[in-house]
Chain A
């Protein structure tokens, strides 16, 4: 049983946040793929390219 009393407005808000309609849109598989390309693959290529110059 909860012993700590949350602010009623906060409690209401937290109930909403549990509903996907009130959550922010997540990243998709395509987003993650593009992020890996930009954040891992591209830097790796840059490092290899820079080393060979």
Chain B
């Protein structure tokens, strides 16, 4: 009986929202490293590099992108790892002290929308690459490309769902395999790029749409990577709680999720500077025919599916915060629910998605800087690294995190302050900026401003609530 209860509790922890005890954290440093690489190496990095190519050449772009990836990940690590590793809780649960028991639905929305969007992007990109290869190989004509693309996306989504069926242990196990393959292929693509075009051509490539202000361009390049890497926030809690120590989580996060975003983006940067297209599939086919293109496709498949699965895993855990998903809905059904919208979008409206969601992504991404700032100041300064673990799971007025009607007003004010600060400094859609953006970037000041506003609002509005005095 005791064993049955223990295994039930373990199941509720690892595939749900209950705290994961240290003895249940089965990944270890190498396991998390493999999962981090599997998630961190993704073909969306090509697009990120392509955006930087608008503003910077290869040299300044390389420096800005590596710097940006480290800075962004630093703040994500501070915001998520200490609390999630200490208490064994996922990202959404860890955000309850900042946003309140009902306010954390904002975190659920942020996580789900972000991961849904990124998974659509990844799996549509994979589908499109499949169609491009099939056309180049002569397997289909122009009229068949969209069908092949849709089938490619659907196949990838199906594989993702199957990989999720066995939960955290199988994610760790296949991540060993995927991480080795994607790292090797990524380095191989970078090698082909450099030897195929030559360093001369890459180094002499001019930015595609420089603003004319060298400092502005440099800061924009940094900002693109900082903002992109901050988007790892939704992924963190669900995976780092699977290791027993924060050190075993922090370095894989920094070096295997944050840094690879910058390094893989270099492929997109250099490709765009030389060819005008950040996607290397086209020039790989040009250099080595269909077989090199298939190599790129294998990379895309491994990288994108690896990232999509990790995203779907943490999103599924996040959804379990919602009462309707807590009982009676199996893990396989929840993962199916997470992936179904991706399938619908990728198969039925992939072009509409690509053409119309850039703005949505840009604004969504703006929220991660304030959320990180708020979590850092709350956990370290206001709570001195202590939370009330019972209070995280109470949803009524007995919870110290009930605040006003379940919402922490300081969290709302902090997010709004950070959001409007960011949008003032840099409109994420039009990229119109205001001073002092070129000296400060946008994410970093937004993070700091939101932290300050949250701190002040907490001191004024939440004096006798929120469990700050304990």
Q: Given the interface contacts A9-B12, A13-B19, A16-B21, does A25 sit within 8 Å of B245 by beta carbon? A: yes
Are B78 and A23 interface neighbours, CB within 8 A? no
Question: With A and B bound together, what is the CA distance between A1 and B250 in angstroms?
Answer: 39
Distance (whole angstroms) from the CB of B2 to the closest CB of chain A: 11
* Chain B interface residue number, banded: 35 or more
Question: A residues 4-52 with Cβ under 8 Å of B?
Answer: 4, 6, 9-14, 16-18, 22-28, 31, 35-36, 38-40, 42-44, 46-47, 49-51
Total residues of chain A contacting the partner, CB 8 A: 36
Interface residue? B168 (CB, 8 A): no
Are A4 and B395 interface neighbours, CB within 8 A? yes
**Binding stretch for chain A, among B55-63, B144-152, B407-415:** B55-63
Are B218 and A47 interface neighbours, CB within 8 A? yes
Which of B71, B247, B396 lies in contact with A39, CB distance below 8 A?
B71
Q: Given the interface contacts A40-B74, A50-B60, does A31 sit within 8 Å of B250 by beta carbon? A: yes
Interface residue? B171 (CB, 8 A): no
Are B70 and A50 interface neighbours, CB within 8 A? no
Question: With A and B bound together, what is the CA distance between A8 and B5 in angstroms?
Answer: 10
Q: Given the interface contacts A27-B82, A31-B247, does A38 sit within 8 Å of B218 by beta carbon? A: no
Q: 17 more A-B contacts (CB under 8 A) besides A14-B19, A35-B250, A42-B70?
A: A2-B394, A3-B398, A4-B395, A6-B390, A10-B18, A13-B19, A18-B389, A23-B88, A25-B85, A26-B82, A27-B250, A39-B71, A39-B75, A39-B254, A44-B67, A50-B218, A51-B60
Are B246 and A26 interface neighbours, CB within 8 A? yes
**B394: A residues at CB distance < 8 A:** 2, 4, 6
Q: Which of A4, A27, A40, A53 has the most CB of B within 10 A?
A: A27
Are A22 and B22 interface neighbours, CB within 8 A? yes
Distance (whole angstroms) from the CB of B191 to the closest CB of chain A: 23
**B74: A residues at CB distance < 8 A:** 35-36, 38-40
**A9: B residues at CB distance < 8 A:** 5, 8-9, 12
Identify the closest chain B residue to A49 (Cβ). B63
**A36: B residues at CB distance < 8 A:** 74
